[in-house]
Structure formats: C-alpha cells, structure tokens
Amino acid sequence: MGDVEKTEFNLPPDTTRGMGRPDGSSVDPSVQPTDRDIETNLRPKSLDEFIGQPKVRNQLDLVLTSARNRGTAPDHVLLSGPPGLGKTTMAMIIAQEMGTSLRMTSGPALERAGDLAAMLSNLMEGDVLFIDEIHRMARPAEEMLYMAMEDFRIDVIVGKGPGATSIPLEIAPFTLVGATTRSGMLTGPLRDRFGFTAQMEYYSAEDLTRVVTRAARIMDVPIDAEAAAEIASRSRGTPRIANRLLRRVRDFAEVTSNGHIDLGATKEALVVFDVDELGLDRLDRAVLSALIKGHGGGPVGVGTLALAVGEEPSTVEEVCEPYLVRAGMVARTGRGRVATVTAWRHLGLQPPDTAPGLF
C-alpha cells in the first residue's frame, strides 16, 4: 500500500480554507486567541489524529484508501450523531485525506433548488461538498440533490410558468458529505443514495481524557492527569463539551492561582460553572426539574418540557435528551418522556413506586 501514489485532483492549494493555521499559532503575538479560534485549532486534521470512534475511523479509512487507489472520488458519506461528536471535523478530514477542497453549506441555507444548483455547478472534480444539518434541506433542493448524487447531473429550470424550460447541466464528480443529528428525519431516497453511513457514538471516558490532554497541550496549559480525567468524566461523552470545560477550568486556574490545572481547581471551577458530577449543566437539570417537579415525573411531551425551560423543542430533543437517555435518567415512551429512579435521586428526591428503574 505504501507505494501507491496519492491521487492528485489538480486543484489550487486551498484545502485548509476555514481550518485555521495548522500549527495553532497566531500571526500577531499581541492577539489573544478567542474561544472560536481555539475551537478551530483543536480540530484534528487527519484520521490518525482523530481520537476515538475506532469503528468509524477504520471504515472511513477503507473507503478513502480504496477511492484514492482507484483515483476516484469516494462514495457519498453520511455522518450521523449528536452535536459536538466530530462530524464537521470528520468532513474536513475527508477532504484533507483526499487532498481536495471542502465546500461547506447547511440544510437551512438551501432554501431553494437554485441555492443548491449554484453550489453544485461551482464544484471541481473530487471536491467534497459538506452539507451540515442535511435533514433540514428544503424539498426541491433535496430532489435536485438525488440526481446530482447519482448521475452528477442536474436539471436547471429557467423561466417561469408555461415558458419554463429545463436545461440539463453536468457537474464534476464530487463527494457529498452530509451531517445530521436526526438521521431518522432523512427521507428514504436521500438516505439510500449515501454509499456509507457513519454513526458517531458518544466517547468513552478514556478517549475524552485523551481529547482533553491533547487540547491542553495545543493550548499550552499545564494540566494533571487526574484533572484531565475529571473534566473528561463530566463532558457527557462529547469532545466539544470537554474542550469547553477545559477552557473554563483554565480561566479559573489562571485567575485564582498560577494557571496550573490540578484536581482541586477543576472541581472548584466546575462548581462555579454549574456543571455537576455527572456533567449535567443548568439546562439539563432544568429539563429534569420540569419533568419531575412540574409534571410528577411524566409522561410528558418534549414540547411541554421545552416550553417549561424556555428552549426550542429541537434543542431539548437533540442536545439534552440523548445524553439524559444515555445516562439512564429519562426514558422515552409512546406517551412521552418519563423520569427514572436515577433522575429523581439525582435531584435529591424520593422516587415514587411508579418511576421506572432501568438498572
């Protein structure tokens, strides 16, 4: 395998667009990096650097290596899983590994078929088109995408009414990478056109510890091993949260002592920032509280819970709920959400006999 040449798609060297400086440095030393800059610098740039998700990594490695060997664009890839697990990062890595450019857009931005046509017709051979939140794409755009994915061809409608004509347009062979937090909301025809679906899972505590340790090294923040493990264990299996908690603990350590992050500083900082031992934040606890104190433990619909905590139902459903379910605190039933014994106890309350136990 080592003697196989990497396929070049003959593109301008702009593959790192939007990915920040690879070494994580800043050009002007007086400029302090913002949280957003740090987020960009923390993104792993290759499959080898990507921590965790061994299954997805192995499968993608096969798909990409084989495509490289054949000199073709890899099959379309669907990345599915809760927010913050590395879907956008993985899309960037796919382009990086193929040595091609990444074009980014998102489902909500593709309101009309014309929006998508403009993106598609600008693609160059081998480009990776990343559509984030692909389940939120408008129907006409989605239908145009079917043909683009299958035949690298679209029909552009010119004009209106009876005089409208459809002009066929060839597009360069590309790889679509779609990301979704709600794979269940994808239509069958769209799902069927992806050659490979990667299901991103929550990270183990060990993998998250490596994420924290790596991030601290890049940010040049000294951290003890047990402090990294503590941050990891409170990060709800999610690298984005791990990196965010690390930044807040760093703030705390820098302001209250010499900036060295030890276990004591970590625990104190997480109290200050309202993150409990299980990693639940204020919103998670508000949802639990609405469910238990407001509705006797349920069953209650997501819409009602969202209203009670002042959030969008989609936020409660896509951000809070998956982890509450995984932590065994909330059960989904046909009639709504139910708090488990664990959830009652977590709020320091005596569960009723009717509360499901689970474990």
42 binds, among ligand ADP, Mg ion, none (CB under 5 to 8 A by kind): ligand ADP
Greatest CA separation for the chain: 74
Nearer to Mg ion, 179 or 270 (CB): 179
Q: Using the rule CB under 6 A, is 44 a contact of ligand ADP? A: yes
268 binds ligand ADP (CB under 6 A): no
- Of residues 239 and 322, the one with the C-beta less far from ligand ADP: 239
Buried b (16+ CB within 10 A) or exposed e, 98-111: bbbbbbbbebebbe
Does 239 bind ligand ADP (CB under 6 A)? Our answer is yes
Among 56, 63, 73, 85, binds ligand ADP (CB under 6 A): 85
R_g of the chain computed on alpha carbons: 23
Q: Any catalytic annotation for residue 181?
A: yes
Q: Binding ligand ADP by CB under 6 A: which of 15, 77, 78, 88? A: 88
- How far, rounded to the nearest angstrom, does the alpha carbon of residue 184 sit from its chain's CA centroid? 16
DSSP state of 222: -
Distance CA 354, CA 351 (A): 8
243 makes contact with ligand ADP (CB under 6 A): yes
Instruction: Name the one range near ligand ADP by CB under 6 A: 39-47, 249-257, 285-293, 325-333.
Output: 39-47
Closer residue to ligand ADP in complex, CB, 19/147: 19
How far out from the chain centre does Cα 45 lie? 15
153 is in an annotated binding site: no
Q: Following CA atoms 188, 192, 198, 201 in sequence, which dihedral angle do they give, to the nearest 10 degrees? A: 20
Q: Which does 50 bind (CB under 5 to 8 A by kind): ligand ADP, Mg ion, none?
A: ligand ADP
Distance (Å, rounded) from C-alpha 208 to C-alpha 214?
A: 10
- How far is the C-alpha of 190 from the C-alpha of 207, rounded, in Å? 32
Span of 4-12, 19-27, 84-92, 269-277 interacting with ligand ADP by CB under 6 A: 84-92
Q: How many residues does the chain have?
A: 359
| Residue 298 interacts with which of ligand ADP, Mg ion, none, CB < 5 to 8 Å by class | none
Q: From CA 12, how far away is CA 176, in angstroms rounded?
A: 20
Nearer to ligand ADP, 55 or 112 (CB): 55
- Told to judge if 240 belongs to the known catalytic residues of this protein, a careful annotator would answer yes
333 is an active site residue:
no
| 213 annotated active-site | no
Report how far apart, in Å, the C-alpha atoms of 300 and of each of 26, 267, 331, 335, 346 are. 49, 34, 11, 7, 19
Closest alpha carbon to 227 in 241, 213, 239, 211: 213
User: Contact with ligand ADP (CB under 6 A): which of 37, 39, 115, 268?
Assistant: 39
Q: Does 253 bind ligand ADP (CB under 6 A)?
A: no
| Least spacing, CB of residue 161 vs Mg ion, in Å | 40
Residue 149: partners with Cβ closer than 8 Å, 6 or more residues away = 76, 176, 193
In the block, residue with structure tokens 């987020």: 39
Answer whether 345's CB lies under 8 Å from 296's CB.
no
Residue 136 CB, shortest distance to Mg ion, in Å, is 13
Residue 87 known to be catalytic: yes
Contacts with Mg ion in 59-118 (CB under 5 A)?
88
The binding site comprises 42-43, 84, 87-89, 150-152, 193, 203, 240, 332, 337
* Interface residues toward Mg ion, by CB under 5 A: 88
- Catalytic residue IDs: 87-88, 132, 181, 240
Give the annotated binding-site residues for ATP: 42-43, 84, 87-89, 150-152, 193, 203, 240
